[in-house]
Amino acid sequence: MHPDPDFADGLAALRPLGGFFVLRPPGPPPRRLPTLSQVYGDRPPDVHDDPLAFRVRKVEAALRAPEPRIAASVAHQGLAARLWSVTLGCAAVYGAVPDLDPRLLHWDPDGSAPDDLWLAELRPRPADTATVADTVLHAHLLPLAGALRARYRVAAGLLRGNAASALVGAAREVDRWAGRHGRTRAAARTRSLTAGLLAHPLLAGAGTLTGTAFRRRSCCLYYRVPGGGVCGDCCFRHPPRFPPPPRSSPRAPSG
């Protein structure tokens, strides 16, 4: 499928879908920001000392999370949702997806959508399942999960569940938008992509999709946040009781 000719015009048609779906017009960010390839790898020079740790600390403070790995999980799901939203939104609206090469995509760990991502160059790619999996799963979520597991000992199953949950959440928003605007082909394309991506080896077994409803097989740990509860797709129906984490091992694995 050939991309919509308006694809190169800053992806403006994504704005009605909401801030999570928007990419700023291609070009350099307004100030020096790390690329996501730097975020997943070694500490980049002349930017935040550690952008990933900065974001986790920011989330930890905002949620008053009792453990860093809870904030790491929430931060992971937020970035996953952003990447899935941009990609699925483009697939639905334009019939193509942007090349989100981590070396081209700048990230502001102190920002929120849509001011957190800046794509240096807009290069359309096909909107098929294999390309979308390469664009998001292999290029981003796999190295991001590796970094978070190494630094915060977050369980692999939890991160897989986060990635699947973020995918379905983004797809659900596209489906709602398509329904409101009579975009039946966009809705069908999104549902097909979502089903194919959930069958990918990196996401297979993360949960069960029924229509647009998803039930994951892991928990993101949000219920441990003060005042938090279980998410709509959580494996738990009610927040489980848990003892406070021992101070001597605040980063013990879970999930």
Checking if the pLDDT of 50 tops 50, the result is: yes
Q: Does the pLDDT value for residue 78 go beyond 60? A: yes
Number of domains in the chain: 1
In a domain, 47, yes or no: yes
For 4, counting Cβ atoms within 10 Å of its Cβ (0-12 exposed, 13-18 middle, 19+ buried), the class is middle
Instruction: Tell me if 246 is assigned to some domain.
Output: no
Q: Is residue 241 part of a domain?
A: no
Q: How confident is the model at residue 68 (pLDDT cuts 50, 70, 90)?
A: very high
Answer whether residue 101 is part of any domain: yes
Asked if the structure places residue 130 within a domain, the reply is yes
Question: What would the mean pLDDT of 38-60 be, rounded to a whole number?
Answer: 80
On whether residue 251 sits in a domain, the answer given is no
In the block, residue with structure tokens 């097989």: 217
Rounded average pLDDT over 223-231? 79
Residues 6+ apart with CB under 8 A from 177: 16, 17, 92, 183
What is the domain range of residue 143? 5-224
Query: Could you tell me which residue, 36 or 226, shows the higher pLDDT?
Result: 36
Q: Is the pLDDT of residue 212 over 90?
A: no
Residue 240 lies in a domain: no
**Distance between CA 245 and CA 255 in Å, rounded?**
14
Report residue 1's pLDDT band, with 50, 70 and 90 as the boundaries.
Answer: very low
Q: Is the residue at 248 inside a domain?
A: no
